[in-house]
Amino acid sequence: MFLKTNILFVDDNEDLLKIAIQLLIRFNSSFHFETGNSGEEALRLLSKNRYDIIVSDYQMPGMDGLQLLKQIRENKDETPFIMFTGKGRESVAMQALNLGADYYLMKENQGIDSLYAELNHIIQKVVNEKRNEKELMFKNSLTQVLLDALPCVALVLNSDRTIIFSNQEGKSFGAFPGKNCYSTWGQRPENPCPWCLAPKALKTGKPQSVVVDAVGSVWDAYWIPLTKDIYLHYAFDITNQQKNLQIPIEAIVDLEKRVQKLIEIKGLENYFNRNEKPIIYPY
């Protein structure tokens, strides 16, 4: 099932608007249109409604397409914008891109069917890119929220141990995104920690765990593969407990729920399994 795409189409020529909408709906039945006959009317519609994309003619009486685009961006509206420009108006196309247009389409000497087939393709491309961008931003934001909710140091890393996400506990050790874990949290400037089980976790696709005495504390540490080259690493400071003392069951259940939610966000299978007995690695 296709998501409905809400399109604001702006053109002062009502006959061309009707033809354009008929052809575009023929290409894609998920398109839903509202129309404006001027830049001013488009701004009124934008003040009341949200659209997935705006398609606007350039040459219109009063406010032209460039002026409309400029006002939209000054209003902090980042709705994707496609500019229609006539043949020989390359300078208009460049101005549109400089003002924040996502795409432009030249009305060259081509048949009307091929023109709107191309416009259909561009609309789908721009809308899909914007949706993917928003989805990624949402996932990143939710990932950060979930990491910050974990009651311990927690990091999401690439296979080369570069940090992608770090929660507040991790940042307190200097483990910020873009840095690596061993030179920050691990306090080892050059080489990865010898007890690190990330390679094994990624190779086997199974969680790994170890209790280790390092950086002045005793850590109950875990590595959870999220994809073939990204993993979650978290560790409890159990310095004030005996090394083989288990974390209270309530904390484990709560943590497993949070980590499982993190894995679901990534769209992965449930790799999380703490049934394996931790390895004791004194260092």
Indicate which CATH number applies to the domain containing 257: 3.30.450.20
pLDDT of residue 133: 83
| 230, pLDDT greater than 60 | yes
What's the domain count of the chain?
A: 2
Residue 145 lies inside a defined structural domain of this protein: no
Query: Residue 217: pLDDT band by 50, 70, 90 thresholds?
Result: confident
- Same-domain pairing of 112 and 209: no
d(CA 75, CA 242): 59
d(CA 109, CA 56): 19
38-47, 173-182, 235-244, 263-272: lowest mean pLDDT where? 263-272
Query: Residue 250: pLDDT band by 50, 70, 90 thresholds?
Result: low
Would you say 35 and 51 are in contact if contact means Cβ atoms under 8 Å apart? no
- Same-domain pairing of 176 and 217: yes
> Mean pLDDT highest for which of 176-185, 234-243, 267-276?
176-185
What are the pLDDT digits (tens) for 55-89? Answer: 999 989 999 999 999 999 999 999 999 998 775 57
Residue 52 lies inside a defined structural domain of this protein: yes
126-140, 175-189, 222-236, 249-263: lowest mean pLDDT where? 249-263
Domain range holding 267? 150-281
- Same-domain pairing of 195 and 91: no
d(CA 69, CA 101): 7
Tell whether the torsion through CA atoms of 237, 238, 243 and 247 is positive or negative: negative
